Structure 1
């Protein structure tokens, strides 16, 4: 038997599993074939997105890869986004699963990053440019997760790339997306909503690795 606590490496009860996304958490994208909704009727925004797309599209293929995206994005320390966060975001907006995004998908991704920036800044209460365990705890509680301070300390330790007990903007996105993916996959198995599922060893590994 495996509980969500096992997937997240810290105990919490079923009532702690969020039932829906909190309003303060940026919307995860839906893979529509058409122009992203936020661009309809906004020529200035479309032109700005086209400009950014052309700048990021280094090989002029008309599509953007994870590597190209990484070279264009800077975190709060003016360093490139980590490759895993870029890979995750490309996968979220890549409707045909070829590892590349077109101009409209890029525009939706760009808006998504700006939403995360506002979210990150709202929880960076000491204006340090980073998120510590206390701020992460508040963020996750706001998103609807009832996780402990000890769990947040674990997350910070795992994602702290500078050994300063904080996580950067790009890692904050990665943590939030990964946590949502794991929770969604767990909920698919937890058909009776008891907070516990029965999994084989390989099934557990697939859920954990595929949720990253």
Structure 2
């Protein structure tokens, strides 16, 4: 039954009937808990993670994996959104990242929080007509992106930190290659 519903949703989202979903089609398919659409940069990140054949689109099997991934992240988000505000504040973000094994310094945590904070928090009616303004903090989609980016950057750093002392010595080309090859 779930697979049939997921296929129906996939077919509905696949507006050009190509049998695959593009980033704009996926963006229209994904909404946050407050009915605001997913941030396009988050959609692009998800596309990169789930476009296994590197076609620039995702087929039904890739979409199924993405759907499960999003459902799993929803549970994580609900767990850390302790005040049930519908967004993640600084303390909740710190706790989430620490539980994932990323103990960021206060200055880095502030930077991540500012970078991924809801950009439309003060804009009433963002999303569907009659929708409420986005809560301050980090929305679900941007929380997923923040956590994935912190993980990717940390893994890239670890690959470069050959002696595992927390310091790396690389040249500009090595740094740019590392950052530009991240999904």
TM-score by length of 1: 0.74
Residue from 177, 181, 192 that aligns with 2:152? 181
Q: Answer yes or no: is 1:47 the counterpart of 2:18.
A: no
Offset, 1:209? 4.3
Three-state SS of the structure 2 residue aligned to 1:196 is: coil
Answer yes or no: is the 8 Å Cα contact 1:187–1:193 preserved in 2: yes
Contact 1:134 1:149 in 2 (8 A): no
* Corresponding residue of 1:138: 95
1:93 to 39, 47, 50: 50
- Name the CA distance, whole Å, in 2 between partners of 1:46 and 1:119: 23
Q: Aligned residue pairs: how many?
A: 169
SS at match of 1:92: helix
Identify the match of residue 199 of structure 1 among 157, 164, 170: 170
What RMSD, in angstroms, separates the aligned Cα atoms of the two structures?
A: 1.7
CA distance in 2, matches of 1:149, 1:119: 22
Point out which structure has higher relative CO (alpha carbons under 8 A, 6+ apart): 1
1: CA distance, partners of 2:5 / 2:158: 39
Unpaired stretches in structure 1, ≥5 consecutive residues: 1-43
User: What TM-score does the superposition give when structure 2 sets the normalisation length?
Assistant: 0.85
Partners of 1:181 and 1:187 in 2: CA distance = 10
- Post-superposition offset of 1:188: 1.6
Q: Please tell me whether residue 117 in structure 1 is matched to residue 74 in structure 2.
A: yes
Answer yes or no: is 1:107 the counterpart of 2:64: yes
Structure 2 portions without partners, runs of 5+? 122-134
Corresponding residue for residue 6 of structure 1: none
**Structure 2: distance between partners of 1:123 and 1:187:** 26
Moved over 6 A (4+): none
